[in-house]
Homo-oligomer: A and B are copies of this chain.
Amino acid sequence: MAKRVTIQDLAKELNTTTSTISRALRNHHSISTAMKKRVLELAKIRNYQVNSMAANLRSGKSMTIGVVVPHINRDFFANVISGIEGVAKTEGYSVVICQTNDKIDKERDCISTFLKTRVDGVLISVGLETDCFEHLEQVKKMNVPLIFFDRVQESSNSMTIVNDDIEGAFQAVSHLLDEGYKRIALFSGPDHINIYRNRKQGYLNALEKRGIEIDEKLITSNNLSYEAGVESVKRTMKLKNPPDAIFAAGDYVALGALNWLKKNNYRIPEDIGVVGYSNEKFTNYISPSLTSVDQHSMEMGRYAAKTFFDLIKSDNKDIVLNSLSINPKLIIRESSKRKTI
C-alpha cells in the first residue's frame, strides 16, 4: 500500500506546521481565510484524506455508532437502521452495522468488536436466544452508552425505545373480534423477550375485555419463522375446536400460516382471518394482503439515535432518562376484513 498523504506532507509543502494544517482543515476560527484557502486547495490537489484512526485515537472518540440487529434483511430492521443513519449523518457520525442472526454467540462477537473498535455508543435489538446479558453489562461497565430498541433487556436501567406492543396486539385482536371472529389463536415468540410477552398480553387483554375465555390450546410460542408458521398452523387447525382467526406476533410466521391455509383450501378472510406484526413490505404484496401492525420503524431508529446524541451531549450524566414508547398502528388489509359477510 502506497504511502498516504498526511498533514505533515501538507505542512512541509506550505512551509507551516501540522497544527495549522489541522486547524485549517477543520475550519478553526483562529486561522486566516487566506491560509485556510491555501490548505484546502492543496489538500484537494494532493487528495488528502484525514486518517480517522489517528484523529480518533487522539480525540478519544471514534465518531461511530455500533448497531446490533438480529437480521438486516427484514424491512423493520432495515428501516430502523435508515432512521439511525439519517440522524447520525447530521451529527457527523457513521454507523456500523452488525447482524446476529438471533444467535447469542454472534451477538457477543459483535459487542466485543464494537468495544475494541471503541464505538461511541451501542444501539441494540437483542436476539431471540438472548436471555443472559453479561456481554451487555460489559458495555455499561466500560461506560459506553447503551441504548435498546424494540427487543430490550428489561432488567437493565438503560434507555429503551420500544413500541407499545401491548396496545398494538390489543388493537389487532380487537379488530379481529370486531370483524366477527370468535376463536383467535396466538402465534408468538419466547416469553423472555419483551415484545412477545407484551404482544401476548395485548392479546389476553383484548379477549378479557370482551369476556372471552382464554384457551391455552390456541396459544403457541415459536421462533416466528415462515416454517414455524406452517408448522404451528398445521397443528392448531387439527384441534377438535380449531380457531377462526390467527394473530401472529410476526409477519413471516403469519405468512407461513396463511400459505398453508390457502393450500389447504381455507378461504381467507371468510373462513379464517390472519393478522401479522411489523408491517413488512411484502404484507402489501401478497394475496390476500396481510393485515399487520406498523411499528414506525424509521421513527424508532431516529429516536434511538437522538437518544444517543442527547445522552452524550448532556453534561449531567446522572439525569434519569425516561424510556420512550411509540404507538404502533394497525394497518387493516384483506386477510382480516370480512365485515361484509
A262 interfacial by beta-carbon distance below 8 Å: yes
Distance from A334 Cβ to chain B, minimum over Cβ atoms (Å): 12
Distance from A142 Cβ to chain B, minimum over Cβ atoms (Å): 6
Contact between A1 and B97, CB atoms less than 8 A apart: no
Given known contacts A50-B116, A53-B62, is B4 in contact with A142 (CB within 8 Å)?
yes
Nearest B-chain residue to A94, judged by Cβ: B113
How many Å lie between the Cα of A183 and that of B116 in the bound state? 58
Q: Which stretch (A12-20, A166-174, A281-289) binds chain B?
A: A281-289
Nearest B-chain residue to A96, judged by Cβ: B96
Q: Which stretch (A69-77, A184-192, A323-331) binds chain B?
A: A69-77
Among candidates B54, B62, B77, B255, residue contacting A285 with C-beta atoms closer than 8 Å: B255
| Residues in B neighbouring A54, C-beta threshold 8 A | 57
How many Å lie between the Cα of A74 and that of B73 in the bound state? 6
How many Å lie between the Cα of A117 and that of B52 in the bound state? 5
Q: Which interface residue of A77, A109, A117 has the most chain B CB atoms within 10 A?
A: A117
How many Å lie between the Cα of A226 and that of B81 in the bound state? 22
| Residues in B neighbouring A60, C-beta threshold 8 A | 1
Among candidates B51, B72, B75, residue contacting A81 with C-beta atoms closer than 8 Å: B72
| Residues in B neighbouring A77, C-beta threshold 8 A | 73
Distance from A241 Cβ to chain B, minimum over Cβ atoms (Å): 28
A8 interfacial by beta-carbon distance below 8 Å: no
A238 interfacial by beta-carbon distance below 8 Å: no
A118 interfacial by beta-carbon distance below 8 Å: yes
| Residues in B neighbouring A99, C-beta threshold 8 A | 81
What are some 28 contacts across the A-B interface (CB < 8 A)?
A1-B143, A4-B142, A47-B141, A49-B115, A49-B142, A50-B116, A51-B57, A51-B116, A51-B118, A52-B117, A53-B53, A53-B56, A53-B57, A53-B62, A53-B117, A72-B78, A72-B97, A73-B78, A73-B79, A89-B109, A96-B96, A97-B97, A259-B285, A259-B287, A262-B287, A282-B285, A285-B286, A286-B287
- Give residues in A with beta carbon < 8 Å to B: 1-2, 4, 47, 49-54, 56-57, 60, 62, 64, 71-75, 77-79, 81, 89, 94, 96-97, 99, 109, 112-113, 115-118, 138, 141-144, 226, 255, 259, 262, 282, 285-287
The 7 closest A-B pairs by CB, nearest first: A73-B78, A2-B143, A53-B57, A52-B117, A52-B116, A72-B72, A49-B115
